Chains A and B, each alone.
Chain A
Amino acid sequence: MSHSFDDISAQLKKRHRQSSRLKWISMGALGLAGLFLVLFFADMLSKGLPAFQQAQIQVQIDYNEDAQRMGRAALDPEVSRLVSRTFERLIPVRMRDNPELLGTTETRWVLADSEVDQYLKGHRHTLSESQQATVDALVEQDRAELKFNTTFFASGDSKMPEAAGILAAALGTVMTMLVTLSIAFPVGVMTALYLEEFAPDNRLTQLIEININNLAAIPSILFGLLGLAIFINFFGVPRSSPLVGGMTLALMTLPVIIIATRTALRSVPDSIRHAAFGVGCSRWQVVRDHVLPLAMPGIMTGSIIGLAQAMGETAPLIIVGMVAFIPDIGVSFTNAATVLPAQVFTWAGEPDQAFVEKTAGGILVLLAILIFLNATAVMLRRKFERRW
Chain B
Amino acid sequence: MPRHESYPPEPGQPVTRNREANHELSIRIRDLSLWYGETQALDKLNIDIYQKNVTALIGPSGCGKSTFLRCLNRMNDLIPSVRIEGLVEMDGRDVNAAKMDEVALRRRVGMVFQKPNPFPKSIFENVAYAPRMHDLVSRKAEQDELVEHALREAGLWNEVKDKLQQPGTSLSGGQQQRLCIARAIAVQPDVILMDEPTSALDPISTATIEDLMDKLKQQFTIITVTHNMQQAARVADYTAFFHLGEIIEYNDTKTMFANPATKKAEDYITGRYG
Q: Kindly identify, within residues 102 to 143 of chain B, every residue whose CB is under 8 Å from any CB belonging to chain A.
A: 103-104, 106-107, 110-111, 113, 115, 117-120, 129-130, 133-134
Closest to A275 in B: B117
| CB–CB A281/B117 < 8 A | no
A-B contact list, 7 entries, CB within 8 Å: A271-B115, A272-B117, A275-B180, A279-B183, A279-B187, A282-B103, A289-B133
Q: Which residues of A contact B133 (CB under 8 A)?
A: 279-281, 285, 289
Given known A-B contacts A279-B184, A280-B103, A280-B133, A272 and B120 have beta carbons under 8 A apart = yes
Total B residues in contact with A, Cβ cutoff 8 Å:
25
**Nearest-Cβ distance from residue B256 to partner chain A, whole angstroms:** 28
Q: B75 at the A/B interface (Cβ < 8 Å)?
A: yes
Q: A159 at the A/B interface (Cβ < 8 Å)?
A: no
**Nearest-Cβ distance from residue B140 to partner chain A, whole angstroms:** 19
Given known A-B contacts A281-B103, A387-B169, A275 and B118 have beta carbons under 8 A apart = yes
| CB–CB A386/B120 < 8 A | yes
Q: A294 at the A/B interface (Cβ < 8 Å)?
A: yes
Q: A274 at the A/B interface (Cβ < 8 Å)?
A: yes
Given known A-B contacts A200-B80, A275-B119, A280 and B187 have beta carbons under 8 A apart = yes
Q: B73 at the A/B interface (Cβ < 8 Å)?
A: yes
| CB–CB A271/B187 < 8 A | no
Given known A-B contacts A274-B75, A279-B129, A280-B106, A201 and B120 have beta carbons under 8 A apart = no
| CB–CB B134/A280 < 8 A | yes
User: Which of A269, A280, A387 gathers the greatest number of chain B CB atoms within 10 Å?
Assistant: A280
Q: What residues make up the interface of B, taking CB atoms closer than 8 Å to A?
A: 73, 75, 78, 80, 103-104, 106-107, 110-111, 113, 115, 117-120, 129-130, 133-134, 169, 180, 183-184, 187
Give per-residue flags for A99-131: 1 if the beta carbon is below 8 A from chain B beta carbons, else 0: 000000000000000000000000000000000
Q: A318 at the A/B interface (Cβ < 8 Å)?
A: no
Q: Which residues of B contact A285 (CB under 8 A)?
A: 133
Choose from B80, B113, B118, B130 the contact partner of A274 (Cβ within 8 Å). B113
| CB–CB A289/B129 < 8 A | yes
| CB–CB B107/A280 < 8 A | yes
- Cα(A278)–Cα(B114), bound, Å: 13
Knowing that A272-B119, A278-B75 are A-B contacts, what are 16 other residue pairs whose CB atoms are under 8 Å apart, sorted by A's residue number? A201-B80, A272-B120, A273-B78, A274-B113, A275-B113, A275-B118, A275-B180, A275-B183, A277-B78, A279-B110, A279-B129, A279-B133, A279-B187, A280-B107, A289-B129, A387-B169
**Nearest-Cβ distance from residue B18 to partner chain A, whole angstroms:** 32
Interface residues of A, dominant DSSP: helix
Q: Which residues of A contact B118 (CB under 8 A)?
A: 275
**Nearest-Cβ distance from residue B27 to partner chain A, whole angstroms:** 17
Q: What residues make up the interface of A, taking CB atoms closer than 8 Å to B?
A: 200-201, 269, 271-282, 285, 289-290, 294, 386-388
**Nearest-Cβ distance from residue A295 to partner chain B, whole angstroms:** 12
Among all A-B residue pairs, the 4 with the closest Cβ atoms: A279-B130, A278-B111, A271-B117, A280-B106
**Nearest-Cβ distance from residue B177 to partner chain A, whole angstroms:** 12
Q: Which residues of A contact B107 (CB under 8 A)?
A: 280
**Nearest-Cβ distance from residue A188 to partner chain B, whole angstroms:** 24
Q: Which residues of B contact A289 (CB under 8 A)?
A: 129, 133
User: Which of A278, A282, A290 gathers the greatest number of chain B CB atoms within 10 Å?
Assistant: A278
- Cα(A281)–Cα(B169), bound, Å: 20
- Cα(A289)–Cα(B187), bound, Å: 17
| CB–CB A277/B120 < 8 A | no
Q: Which residues of B contact A269 (CB under 8 A)?
A: 117
Closest to A274 in B: B113
Closest to B104 in A: A280
- Cα(A276)–Cα(B118), bound, Å: 9
Choose from A201, A278, A387 the contact partner of B184 (Cβ within 8 Å). A278
Q: Which residues of A contact B134 (CB under 8 A)?
A: 280
**Nearest-Cβ distance from residue A286 to partner chain B, whole angstroms:** 10
